[in-house]
Chains A and B, each alone.
Chain A
């Protein structure tokens, strides 16, 4: 191998408007950073190097950022992939993904963990400003009880609670809406200009909206900003479309600012926030490529495919280019009516098993 791979410097990305880089500039900068990360992980993660060698051209199809070799996200369930010495790992994130499947293990060193927080802070500031607001978590405090083994749910709550203060849980240990506690919280913060609410989409529906409807209760949360994520699959199973979700929150809580996000434990930090148009936006720290599930060729806007996520953050594990099992559609780049630059997209659920099998079989082989 030639000269040792260098880790990219992200200082200038961290200093700029996270949605302010036009397409050509972004492709050039991200292309360079992602190339450095590929070289770094090749040098420091032998199984990654072997996979790239075996898979070759199949995983780097397309021009520009699509030429960065990707791994299927499920490889983190099958293999331990790390690009640092075990002694440098300060945190291990796990996610179960779909229930019943194996668990992903993501190894973070101090620097990667700190970068994740910094980037998330930049993105959250675009939503909430620099201030930390009183925070209501639509979940139960018991998800954080086992501190040595967080679920993805617990890790998400903890990560976002950095942006709140007086973090209060809306549900008790039995997942029941704790109305006395919520009332006391709202009374205590009645002069706060804003309340930050966070929850997983399904939890918000099942454990906030539905109980309020059953009780015939409303909550005065007109000042609220609700950030929710984790996908619509469970709600789609109950035939709850996003518009009904929003309408119910407006009716029950007076909530007008309801913001969906798309992110995953394998790329913590560089999340995609939805704008008022319902479009998810890739910030300067990340990008997306939609790929044809049959041959992984990149798809143009308007064509549904498997979502590949690119992130400049993963240093301690080779997760900078990951093909997910999620289906999505690129809607455009740099021209969303909301004014944010960068690619924007929608997520339409999870690929049916058969459709995704082609790639998982391919990638199971080298493990």
Chain B
């Protein structure tokens, strides 16, 4: 699986959405499952999958599907 596929799959599984819904309009709290609980479990899944540890500010700023890609880039995960 490519890193991009892993990233997409984590969103699909964490929030129960179709991959086709994932673009720059897929933002925090746009679906009921992306609430604060869903957010923390999605972050934990990303950290496990890519073996990284995000800083607090990056977790707070992780506000959309596309913004998340930029943030992971800082940790050497190129999507």
User: Which of A's residues lie within 8 Å of B, judged by CB?
Assistant: 90-91, 110, 114, 117-118, 121, 124-125, 130-132, 144, 147, 158, 161-163, 165-167
In-complex Cβ contact of B40 among A91, A124, A131, A158 (8 A): A158
- Other A-B contacts than A124-B56, A144-B37, 17 sampled, CB-CB below 8 A, are A91-B36, A118-B57, A121-B56, A125-B56, A130-B55, A130-B56, A132-B54, A132-B56, A147-B37, A158-B36, A158-B37, A161-B40, A162-B59, A163-B56, A165-B47, A167-B40, A167-B44
Query: Are B36's CB and A165's CB within 8 A?
Result: no
Residue in B28, B29, B36, B38 with the greatest tally of chain A CB atoms within 10 Å: B36
Chain A neighbourhood of B53, CB < 8 A: 131-132, 165
Residue in A91, A147, A167 with the greatest tally of chain B CB atoms within 10 Å: A147
CB nearest to A114 among chain B residues:
B60
* Subset of 19 A-B contacts with CB under 8 Å: A91-B29, A91-B36, A110-B29, A118-B60, A124-B56, A130-B56, A131-B53, A132-B55, A132-B56, A147-B35, A158-B36, A158-B37, A158-B40, A162-B59, A162-B60, A163-B56, A166-B44, A167-B40, A167-B44
List the 3 closest A-B pairs by CB distance, nearest first. Answer: A121-B56, A117-B60, A90-B29
Chain A neighbourhood of B29, CB < 8 A: 90-91, 110
Chain B neighbourhood of A165, CB < 8 A: 44, 47, 53
Chain A neighbourhood of B35, CB < 8 A: 91, 147
Interface contacts (Cβ under 8 Å), in number, total: 41
Chain B neighbourhood of A144, CB < 8 A: 37
CB nearest to B61 among chain A residues:
A114
Chain B neighbourhood of A131, CB < 8 A: 53
Q: Within the complex, what minimum Cβ distance (angstroms) separates A224 from chain B?
A: 19
Chain A neighbourhood of B28, CB < 8 A: 110
Mark each residue of chain B from 25 to 64: 1 if its CB lies under 8 Å from any CB of chain A, else 0: 0001100000111101000100100000111110110000
User: Which of B's residues lie within 8 Å of A, judged by CB?
Assistant: 28-29, 35-38, 40, 44, 47, 53-57, 59-60
Q: Within the complex, what minimum Cβ distance (angstroms) separates A265 from chain B?
A: 14
A121 in contact with B37 given A90-B29, A165-B44, A165-B47 (CB within 8 Å): no
Query: Are B56's CB and A162's CB within 8 A?
Result: yes
A114 to B36, CA, bound (A): 11
Q: Within the complex, what minimum Cβ distance (angstroms) separates A170 from chain B?
A: 18
Task: Say what secondary structure dominates the interface of chain B.
Answer: helix
Chain A neighbourhood of B60, CB < 8 A: 114, 117-118, 121, 162
CB nearest to B55 among chain A residues:
A130
Residue in A125, A131, A144, A165 with the greatest tally of chain B CB atoms within 10 Å: A165
Q: Within the complex, what minimum Cβ distance (angstroms) separates B32 from chain A?
A: 8
Chain B neighbourhood of A110, CB < 8 A: 28-29
A159 to B55, CA, bound (A): 15
CB nearest to B33 among chain A residues:
A147
Q: Within the complex, what minimum Cβ distance (angstroms) separates B14 from chain A?
A: 13
Q: Within the complex, what minimum Cβ distance (angstroms) separates A191 from chain B?
A: 14
A114 to B44, CA, bound (A): 19
Q: Within the complex, what minimum Cβ distance (angstroms) separates A94 from chain B?
A: 14
Chain A neighbourhood of B38, CB < 8 A: 147
Q: Within the complex, what minimum Cβ distance (angstroms) separates B3 from chain A?
A: 20
CB nearest to B29 among chain A residues:
A90
A118 to B59, CA, bound (A): 10
CB nearest to A91 among chain B residues:
B36
A131 to B28, CA, bound (A): 24
Query: Are A162's CB and B37's CB within 8 A?
Result: no
A246 to B22, CA, bound (A): 49
